[in-house]
Structure 1
């Protein structure tokens, strides 16, 4: 039983890292309030997840509005003056980028941005993956690992 538990813990650690390796690369910036109205749910306050960890996305991720509610895991990779804190942040899409052209692939709320960057006004390079893909990768890994 101890060996099985160790394999499971090791598998979870590997899956967490593998999920980001399979992600996409883009850029991120932050934006200030007011955050409403949004293209997804207008003025509804319940659209915002706990901790205000949400984003607005550019045309490439918007998918004609299908992006609303999608969850992404982001990791800061690089930027001017070493802005990255390390670690990841999980966010929810609540809006379409209002600026034309959009300044980055993903525009993050101040709270979400500060979770991965020391510099509030920086443009950073990020790796991101849609959250449901992480769950699928973990499931597939376990199926292959234990078969």
Structure 2
């Protein structure tokens, strides 16, 4: 009886440790820039403006996370980490992927709508370092 209680306790401690420690290592670091309207057409909803998030918090995915279109509709939590002239605002936002970065030489992980970018950065038209995690 005593041995089974010790085994149970050890199992619970192990599960707790894995849940707390492993569950938190899910964010990646990348870069973000902004892009201006017009936002349509996009590679995901096409010309359907009603399928864009009403909040204006959406992004175009860079080639690294586009995944041949599988990124369409994915939601990410973003937080500004750093940039030139300290652009970061406090807090985080949730965005939805609605497009592929429109330039062939896209060097950003994510390209944010003006609304999304201004929610993270005090300085427009700059490149920021972000932490992002898929929800």
TM-score, structure 2 normalization? 0.81
> What stretches of structure 1 move > 4 A for 4+ residues in a row?
none
Aligned to 1:8: none
Q: Quote the Cα distance in structure 2 between the aligned partners of 1:26 and 1:39.
A: 22
SS in 1 for 2:39: coil
Larger Rg: 2
Q: Could you tell me how far 1:87 is from its partner in structure 2?
A: 0.5
Higher helix proportion (structure 1 or 2): 1
Q: Are the counterparts in 1 of residues 40 and 46 from structure 2 also a CA contact under 8 Å?
A: yes
Q: Quote the Cα distance in structure 2 between the aligned partners of 1:76 and 1:60.
A: 19
Matches within 5 A, 1:44-83: 44-83=48-87
Q: Quote the Cα distance in structure 1 between the aligned partners of 2:54 and 2:38.
A: 17
Q: Number of residue pairs matched?
A: 114
TM-score, structure 1 normalization? 0.74
Question: What are the ranges of 5 or more consecutive residues in structure 2 without an aligned counterpart?
Answer: 1-19
Question: What are the ranges of 5 or more consecutive residues in structure 1 without an aligned counterpart?
Answer: 1-14, 132-147
